[in-house]
Structure 1
Amino acid sequence: MSVDSTLEATQEASAAEDRAGFDEIHILWISEGMSCDGDTVSMTASGQPAIEDVVQGLVPGLPKVHLYNKVLSPSLGGEDYLVPFRAAARGELSPFVLVIEGSVPNQNIIEDGGYWTSFGNDPDTGEPLTLNWWIDRLAPKAWAVVAVGTCATYGGIHAMAGNPTGCMGLADYLGWDFRSQAALPVINVPGCPIQPENFMETLTWLLYHAAGSAPPPPLDDMLRPQWLFGKTVHEGCDRAAYYEQADFAKDYNSPKCLVKVGCWGPVVNCNVPKRGWMAGIGGCPNVGGICIGCTMPSFPDAFMPFMDEPTGGSVSTTLIKPYGAVIRRLRGITSMAVNKEPKWHHNGPELTTGYDPHWRP
């Protein structure tokens, strides 16, 4: 057999193995980034699917999942909790998905030692092990790497102008050309915090891919799941028709479009108005709150001050006023016409509907 034939056979065997997928997989969730752990808390509210259903094997077709998350862990904590993480760092745990929650600080800007955030201690020296230490060792070995929440995806609050930590998103830290063992880039699921089903839906797709029964999840150029972040808040907002009619709210008690009181919905990629927040209920503009762009890479700097009219908002709302005035008037006329009963609705002796069986002789 020639070298080329041997190589081709090896590649085909490898591809067949990849399609076969895994029967079992580990999820190592580190929330020791600069964060509030809000993404973990939010994730527990998902119902489609629930994290409990995934871990208990109640979702058909998924591999058996072992989840290691400090909020949901049944371990005793401390070194007992760190066992799978240390094993993965040594290359003794595979395959696993690495989930990072929270911004990644820049350790290189600390000149005299110290650390921004840590996860466990070095067993030899007793010194804290930084988040960066863990990422450096786990990410290259991970089957897939997921950044959960805006802090982990793009830096978020901790990476805003003037911060002393040099915080950044996970893709900034690893490099946007990073590829995991499954040849996947960092998968970004932004949100402050995440919408529960957005994360669980992405994780479920990823697990089906791990099982060999689905392709990789499609991502946009900012590594977000396309099917979740391909539309704007405005496109799914119940208040969008008021914008078209140039009918804008002047305060937060109004049911009308909130653009002039600070809403960034027309330019923000997010599906919360459509999906709601929990069990299909809630979502910022659905309950009278403005969109502040918390799923966006430039959050929060580009969207502050939050309560001010967005940049360009005055121009767009001014341009739409004459159009909106005409549309409102025309719709009003049509509304009056269709709000009347037809004249043939009466109890008189004559039929006035225009009924004319012309096909009869």
Structure 2
Amino acid sequence: MTGVSAVEAGVNGYAGTGDGFEEMHILWISEGMSCDGDTVSVTAASQPAIEDVIGGLVPGLPKVHLYNKVLSPTLGGEEFLAPFRAAASGDLEPFILVIEGSVPNEKINGDGYWTSFGNDPVTGEPMTLDRWLDMLAPRAWAVVAIGTCAAYGGIHAMAGNPTGCMGLADYLGWDFRSAGGLPIVNIPGCPVQPDNFMETLTWVLYHAAGAAPPPPLDDMLRPQWLFGKTVHEGCDRAAYYEQGDFSTDYNSPKCQVKIGCWGPVVNCNVPKRGWMGGVGGCPNVGGICIACTMPGFPDKFMPFMDMPPGAHLSSALIKPYGAFIRRLRGITNITANKEPKWRHDRELLTSGYDPRWRP
């Protein structure tokens, strides 16, 4: 498993301004094991909006041609599949391959198949996702996994599943490099936070234009600047944890660790960024963090509404300290809510004004 440091990302493969592509195709396949929720989520992005990128309204980006079944103006069928077939045969380039949904193991599909995208023009048989990956991924200038399912397998890859589902890096290999020399770019979320995806895609496009270095990724191939901190570090409720003040139901504004929140150990920026236009985000609106951006999701974080194992010890340790600090702060708060005694209208100045420099 290979991560990409910020230093490496700032050096490897950076051609410099003006030495890039003027046009870029984006082939978006959502035929992984998926609900298409990531595509729907991205339609709410505003930093930048996907229509601004496609419409050429973001300065410095290549001209973008997007092929996504939900956002496509075609009637579907072979008209929609045409650019994918062209890319597979080497007749359409450069392109960025975006995969939505987890990758099922077609080696264990019995007499059928798990998921497909179009039919083979020769045999008429369904073309499975892994077949498309084998054809397109090596030719792609960049490969992007949108959502936790594509990044790490997600819900479809949980214990007991019959499909053998996995994330894109599990299928292609964690040391995979695209034709543009980039590792897979994982942008997890269930669904993905819309601006997280569009911001990362925009960075990749600026790199394609020769105007930026590759995006810096962590060991799990996530953008470092988006997933470098925990939910807890950006949460409005974090101060309550420090004071040992925990909620016991979902109607409280206090820390939710005791009712199932995994925020202290989850890499995600949603509490800081919000969901749409800076508004929303799980803990911000009363929801617990169920760790949907993490590689171990969902298995390592269930049952979702139960108190996380580590929370028993951490909350017990913080309780006496928090109670003491909360009491001291309460006393200081009372003092801070009183005006200084020299603010009065009597005939005596009591503010301490003493012009010693005057004779």
Deviations 1:120-151 (A, max 9, x none): 00111111000111011000000000000000
What is the aligned partner in structure 1 of residue 294 from structure 2? 296
The one-letter amino acid of 2:149's match is C
Cα distance in 2 between the residues matched to 1:16 and 1:114: 46
Gaps (5+ residues) in structure 2?
1-12
Q: Secondary structure at the match of 1:188?
A: strand
Cα distance in 2 between the residues matched to 1:311 and 1:228: 26
What is the aligned partner in structure 1 of residue 319 from structure 2? 321
What is the aligned partner in structure 1 of residue 76 from structure 2? 77
Cα distance in 2 between the residues matched to 1:135 and 1:17: 30
Cα distance in 1 between the residues matched to 2:244 and 2:17: 54
Cα distance in 2 between the residues matched to 1:322 and 1:41: 46
Over aligned residue pairs, what C-alpha RMSD do you find?
1.2
1:192 is aligned to 2:185: no
Deviation of 1:110 (Å): 2.4
Deviations 1:85-104 (A, max 9, x none): 00001011110000000000
1:54 is aligned to 2:53: yes
Deviations 1:221-257 (A, max 9, x none): 0000000000000000000000000000010000000
1:1-361 equivalent positions in 2, closer than 5 A: 20-111=19-110, 113-361=111-359
Q: Secondary structure at the match of 2:300?
A: helix
The one-letter amino acid of 2:295's match is P
What is the aligned partner in structure 1 of residue 10 from structure 2? none
Cα distance in 1 between the residues matched to 2:257 and 2:94: 46
Structure 1 residues 275 and 17: alpha-carbon distance in aligned structure 2, compared to 1, 3 A threshold: closer
Gaps (5+ residues) in structure 1?
1-13
Deviations 1:166-208 (A, max 9, x none): 0000000000010001111110000000000000000000000
Cα distance in 1 between the residues matched to 2:225 and 2:287: 24
Q: Secondary structure at the match of 2:309?
A: coil
Deviation of 1:311 (Å): 1.4
Deviation of 1:310 (Å): 0.5
The answer to whether the 8 Å contact 2:17/2:212 transfers is no
Deviation of 1:345 (Å): 1.1
Q: Secondary structure at the match of 1:274?
A: helix
The one-letter amino acid of 1:139's match is A
Cα distance in 2 between the residues matched to 1:323 and 1:179: 49
The answer to whether the 8 Å contact 2:16/2:212 transfers is no
The answer to whether the 8 Å contact 2:86/2:92 transfers is yes
What is the aligned partner in structure 1 of residue 9 from structure 2? none
Cα distance in 2 between the residues matched to 1:352 and 1:223: 64
The one-letter amino acid of 1:339's match is N
The answer to whether the 8 Å contact 2:14/2:207 transfers is no
Q: Please say which structure displays the higher CA radius of gyration.
A: 1
Tell which has more relative contact order, 1 or 2 (C-alpha 8 A, sep 6+): 2
Cα distance in 1 between the residues matched to 2:174 and 2:203: 21
Identity of aligned residues (%): 79
The one-letter amino acid of 1:31's match is S
Cα distance in 1 between the residues matched to 2:177 and 2:216: 15
Aligned residues: 347
Moved over 3 A (4+): 14-19
The one-letter amino acid of 1:105's match is P
Q: Secondary structure at the match of 1:20?
A: coil
Structure 1 residues 16 and 330: alpha-carbon distance in aligned structure 2, compared to 1, 3 A threshold: closer
Q: Secondary structure at the match of 1:66?
A: strand
The answer to whether the 8 Å contact 2:101/2:147 transfers is yes
Q: Secondary structure at the match of 1:342?
A: coil
Deviation of 1:354 (Å): 0.8
The answer to whether the 8 Å contact 2:14/2:210 transfers is no
What is the aligned partner in structure 1 of residue 3 from structure 2? none
Deviation of 1:15 (Å): 8.1
Greater Cα offset, 226-235 or 18-27: 18-27
Q: Secondary structure at the match of 2:27?
A: strand
Deviation of 1:114 (Å): 1.2
Cα distance in 2 between the residues matched to 1:48 and 1:263: 28
Cα distance in 2 between the residues matched to 1:291 and 1:21: 40
Deviations 1:25-79 (A, max 9, x none): 1000000000000000000100110000000000000000000000100012100
Cα distance in 2 between the residues matched to 1:18 and 1:357: 61
Q: Secondary structure at the match of 1:241?
A: helix
Cα distance in 1 between the residues matched to 2:264 and 2:163: 32
The one-letter amino acid of 1:85's match is F
Q: Secondary structure at the match of 1:85?
A: helix
Cα distance in 1 between the residues matched to 2:130 and 2:310: 39
